[in-house]
């Protein structure tokens, strides 16, 4: 049985923008987060910012330690995520792995997370947090509305655990179906990134599913 979000220990690999955002949301949901980055000083600074005033905790640590919880968020670019899982496939067996990456180039046949899953087929893969901007996710709202997070996975227990975490963090989670739908989420992210660049947005962006309730 998956842990409830308030009892969850969560590993996050990567203390960049998405790692910072997911660590903040997880801490607000009451989770205990282990945050790893190859720059330990950055991990310490991001951990302190992400945990400020939250009921959960964020602890800077090593990659090995951050891989121990049953759920691990890969807050890395796609090439770095592939490098990590290819080197540590045995350690990832049975874990729920949450991929937030968006490959820069669209594959004509499959999604980036499906290619990651081929390298670590015994992990339980979830696509989440990709179709939104890291700054908006960290703040949790845009124009007074909670940020929407789309969650896709073929593993229902892992999907439900991520949806619960998102909802408890103050965001609005949507079950986006099976992992095949991750390809659409990655396309949404690439569109959002292009619109951000075209419109010179600096305050974050995201997709809002209507109606609101």
pLDDT digits over 70-110, tens only? 999 999 999 999 999 999 999 999 999 999 999 888 876 78
Strand partners, 171: none
Whether the Cβ atoms of residue 101 and residue 130 lie closer than 8 Å to each other:
yes
Task: Answer yes or no: is pLDDT of 66 > 60.
Answer: yes
Task: Answer yes or no: is pLDDT of 7 > 80.
Answer: no
E strands along the chain, which residues? Answer: 9-13, 32-36, 57-61, 71-74, 96-99, 124-127, 141-142, 145-146, 148-153, 172-175
% residues pLDDT > 70 (the chain): 95
Model confidence over 157-207: pLDDT tens digits? 999 999 999 999 999 999 999 999 999 999 999 999 999 999 988 778 999
Residue 1 — very low, low, confident or very high, per pLDDT cuts 50/70/90? very low
* pTM, entire model: 0.93
The per-residue pLDDT of the chain, averaged, comes to 93
In angstroms, rounded to a whole number, what is the distance separating the alpha carbons of residues 149 and 128?
7
Helix axes 156-168, 17-28, angle to 10 degrees: 80
pLDDT of residue 48: 98
Buried (b) or exposed (e) across 41-59, using 16+ Cβ within 10 A? Answer: ebbbebbeebbeebebbbb
Task: Answer yes or no: is pLDDT of 116 > 90.
Answer: yes
- DSSP H helices in 120-181: 134-139, 156-168
From residue 144, alpha-carbon distances to 55, 82, 136, 140, 189 in Å are 23, 36, 11, 9, 21
């Amino acid at each position: 049985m998956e842990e409830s979000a308030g009892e969850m220990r969560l590993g996050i690999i990567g203390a960049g923008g998405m790692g910072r955002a997911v660590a903040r949301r997880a801490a607000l949901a009451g989770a205990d987060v282990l945050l790893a980055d190859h720059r330990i000083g950055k991990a310490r600074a991001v951990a302190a910012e992400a945990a400020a005033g939250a009921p959960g905790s964020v602890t800077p640590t090593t990659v090995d330690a951050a891989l121990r919880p049953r759920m691990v968020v890969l807050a890395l670019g796609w090439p770095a995520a592939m490098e990590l899982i290819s080197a540590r496939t045995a350690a990832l067996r049975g874990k729920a792995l949450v991929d937030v990456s968006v490959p820069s180039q669209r594959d004509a046949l499959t999604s980036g997370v499906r290619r990651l899953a081929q390298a670590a087929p015994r992990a339980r893969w979830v696509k989440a947090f990709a179709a939104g901007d890291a700054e908006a996710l960290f703040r949790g709202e845009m124009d007074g509305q909670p940020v929407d997070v789309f969650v896709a996975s073929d593993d229902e227990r892992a999907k439900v655990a991520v949806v619960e975490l998102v909802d408890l963090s103050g965001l609005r989670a949507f079950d986006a179906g099976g992992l095949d739908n991750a390809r659409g989420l990655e396309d949404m992210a690439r569109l959002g990134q292009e619109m951000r660049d075209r419109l010179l947005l600096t305050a974050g962006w995201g997709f809002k599913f209507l109606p609101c309730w």
